[in-house]
Amino acid sequence: MSILIDENTKVLIQGITGSFGARHASLSLAYGTQVVAGVTPGKGGQKFENVVPIFDTVSHAVNETGATASAIFVPPAFAADAILEAADAGIELIVCITEGIPVMDMMRVKAMLVGSKSRLVGPNCPGLVTPGHGEKSHGGCRIGIAPGYIHKRGNVGVVSRSGTLTYEAVWQLTQLGYGQSTCVGIGGDPINGTNHREVLEMFNNDPETEAIIMIGEIGGNAEVDAARWAKDHCKKPIAGFIAGATAPPGRRMGHAGAIVGGEDDTAQAKKRILAECGIAVSETPSDMAKTLLELWGK
């Protein structure tokens, strides 16, 4: 088992003919992922790399191929529309890689997805990887932009807002001989589809996941909310890291934002609350895997 995706997940890619989408579609295919369809309006009927059929609409692609997950690589101005199109077509897991979507657009998307059966991960995220059993984890499901080869199939779940920090944690685990069940990048935007707590719940319910690394950063209270949930409900060891202890205050948040945001969103406050909730907080980003293994008793 794993969460959200496995080696049988049928993936479609919205924006497969753009340079960014095409590059990562190729890498996913090379990793052994079941990329079954691409969508680019106006290019229906063509084939990507002579194998993957391209459709004009997501609903047509879903009807023809049975895709259940979508990776979105379309430019920011069109991304909100692409997410809603995927939801309308009944896609179960929508992963939006696009960076730079206006917050107002995401606010409306989020409100429109209430009650939908689709789950959104991202935007502005590296995507998900469930490593395969082959050499360098080949044969897994890779949706997004993470490097596949750094992974190894195993029992640690990883959830993070940041791409490169996720790779850092995954690589540390792999080098120490510990593989991953699924790695989820939930994205760095203020409004995103899936939060830390929801991913922790899924890891907690997944029999293959035995331990968890949760990586967060300053701003918002998603990590704190997840930690408080974990204290009462999560049966598995969790190690955490919070980036941004040295970030200058107020740079991203406005004057009035600080009132509503509250006092829990500095790195120091988050680390303290994570520790109070039984999460082993890594002192430096170099020790994320080591911190987990100590807590886990390995």
Question: Which residue, 208 or 217, is less far from other proteins as judged by CB?
Answer: 217
Q: How far is the CB of 73 from other proteins (least distance, A)?
A: 13
The answer to whether 269 contacts other proteins (rule: CB under 8 A) is no
Paired tokens of 4? 């959200």
- d(CA 147, CA 137) in angstroms, rounded, equals 11
Question: Which residue, 172 or 182, is less far from other proteins as judged by CB?
Answer: 172
Residues with catalytic roles? 255
The answer to whether 154 contacts other proteins (rule: CB under 8 A) is no
The answer to whether 8 contacts other proteins (rule: CB under 8 A) is no
- Rounded (10°) angle between helices 76-88 and 103-112: 10
Gyration radius of the chain's alpha carbons: 19
Site for other proteins in 196-235 (CB under 8 A): 215, 217-221
Residue 44 CA to chain centroid, in angstroms? 29
Question: Which residue, 67 or 239, is less far from other proteins as judged by CB?
Answer: 239
Residue 189 CA to chain centroid, in angstroms? 12
Q: How far is the CB of 53 from other proteins (least distance, A)?
A: 25
Q: How far is the CB of 261 from other proteins (least distance, A)?
A: 8
- d(CA 224, CA 235) in angstroms, rounded, equals 17
Q: What x-and-dash track marks residues 170-189 binding other proteins by CB under 8 A? A: -x----------------x-
Q: Which segment (1-9, 48-56, 133-141, 281-289) binds other proteins by CB under 8 A?
A: 281-289
How many other C-beta atoms can be found within 10 angstroms of the C-beta atom of residue 92? 16
The answer to whether 138 contacts other proteins (rule: CB under 8 A) is no
Site for other proteins in 64-123 (CB under 8 A): 76-77, 100-108, 110-112
155, HSE (Cβ side, Cα atoms, 13 Å) = 11
Contacts of 6 (CB under 8 A, 6+ apart): 130, 141
Question: Which residue, 42 or 248, is less far from other proteins as judged by CB?
Answer: 248
**CB distance 125 to 97 below 8 Å:** yes
Closest Cα to residue 275, out of 234, 219, 229, 231? Answer: 231
Residue 217 CA to chain centroid, in angstroms? 15
Question: Which residue, 61 or 94, is less far from other proteins as judged by CB?
Answer: 94
Residues that bind other proteins (CB under 8 A): 27, 76-77, 100-108, 110-112, 145-147, 149-150, 160-168, 171, 188, 190-191, 215, 217-221, 241, 243-248, 251, 254-261, 267, 283-287
